[in-house]
Amino acid sequence: MQRFIVLRILQGLLAVFAISLIVFALSRVAGDPIAAILDDETGKEQIELLRKEWGLDKPLHVQYFTYMKRLLTGDLGTSFKWDRPVAELIVEKLPATMQLSAFALIVTGLIAFPVGVLSAVKKDSIFDIFGKMFAILGQSAPTFAVGLILMWIFAVQLNVFPTSGKGGLTHMILPGFALGYYNVAAIMRLTRSSMLDVLDTEYVKLARIKGVAEWKIIWKHCFRNALIVPITFFSLIGAVLITGSVVIETVFAWPGLGQLVIQSIVAKDHITVQAIVMLFALLYVGINILTDIAYAYVDPRIRYN
């Protein structure tokens, strides 16, 4: 077991290292941040002085190792655009992203689990067909398109919800639904498949013979046993929602990490971009490692795969 855990952690660290290389390379391809900050009238001496101060005059491999050294010591650097420590910006914006992601996770669960259960109970019915179409549509449509459509219908035409910004519950409904809708299909299909397996078991048939109420069989006995597979995948969606909030936060002007990273990309502020992407990577890899370890404790066969 210890060998399995160590191996998964090493694999996770290798993945993070590879991501850091890719992000570092792409951020440099985006252009020179000095050109985005200074105007054309700035003197050459001032440009070179600023480049030296930020370490941009050094070779790329030296810049990378300097960045990784600072990252390992907890120093995320200073933003070019906002002239503030990146750590402060992340701490300031992270709660908004977590709030929206948590709401989207709730939306996903409230839609996917009931629809998945009822689709299994009413297999091959009109409700089952409609449920599968509804879920597949959510997985096929881009999140920004869903967000814009919802904004146009409910904010512009019906004037029910605000178009953008952060406020109360009404401000979270449209971006939260747009963000969570994409994951509905996967959870719904897993729930439906698990429910169909459980509904075909002997103890369910025996409960029906004994005259147990159908609602009790479905929600008390079947649903509880069918939750094992979808709930495991559901636990991974939290990280997916946080990392996938970039587009939705931009569409709805939600002041979180997603909007911050887009603004940083436009400003060629690669220090901020690298820090946020590395945070997303660590979060995603960390949750995957914890899930694999939990699997190994539940099913010892996984350790030897």
Geometric angle at alpha carbon 243, from 166 and 232, rounded to 5°: 110
Tens of each residue's pLDDT in the chain, 305 residues: 677 778 888 888 888 888 888 888 877 776 666 666 666 666 677 767 777 777 777 777 888 888 888 888 888 888 878 888 888 999 998 888 888 888 888 888 888 888 888 888 888 888 888 888 887 787 788 888 888 899 999 988 888 888 888 878 888 889 988 888 888 877 888 888 888 888 777 777 777 777 778 777 777 777 777 777 777 677 677 777 777 778 888 888 888 888 888 888 887 788 888 888 888 888 888 887 877 777 666 555 555 55
- 62/236 Cα distance (integer angstroms): 36
148: burial class by Cβ within 10 Å (0-12, 13-18, 19+)? middle
**Residue 290: its pLDDT value, please?**
79
Q: What is the pLDDT of residue 57?
A: 73
Assigned CATH topology for domain 101-266: MetI-like fold (1.10.3720)
Q: Domain extents for the chain?
A: 2-72, 101-266
pLDDT the model gives residue 112: 85
The conformation of residue 212, written as its DSSP 8-state character, comes to -
Instruction: Identify the pLDDT of residue 195.
Output: 84
Q: Tell me how far apart the alpha carbons of residues 223 and 83 are, in angstroms, rounded to a whole number.
A: 52
| Two tokens, residue 200 | 């075909």
Please list, in sequence order, all residues whose beta carbon lies within 8 angstroms of the beta carbon of residue 62, skipping any fewer than 6 positions away.
55
Q: Look at residue 11 in the predicted model and tell me its pLDDT.
A: 85
Tell me which residue of 119, 99, 127 sits closest to 187, measured CA to CA: 119
Q: What is the pLDDT of residue 32?
A: 64
Q: Looking at residue 205, what is its pLDDT?
A: 76
Q: What is the pLDDT of residue 111?
A: 86
* Amino acid 299: pLDDT: 55
Which of these, 197, 192, 193, 149, lies nearest to 174 by C-alpha position? 149
Residue 204 in contact with residue 221, Cβ under 8 Å?
Answer: yes
Q: Could you tell me which residues are beta bridge partners of residue 78?
A: 85
Summarize pLDDT for 84-112 with one digit per residue, the tens: 888 899 999 888 888 888 888 888 888 88
Alpha-carbon radius of gyration of the chain: 24
The pLDDT value given to residue 43 = 64
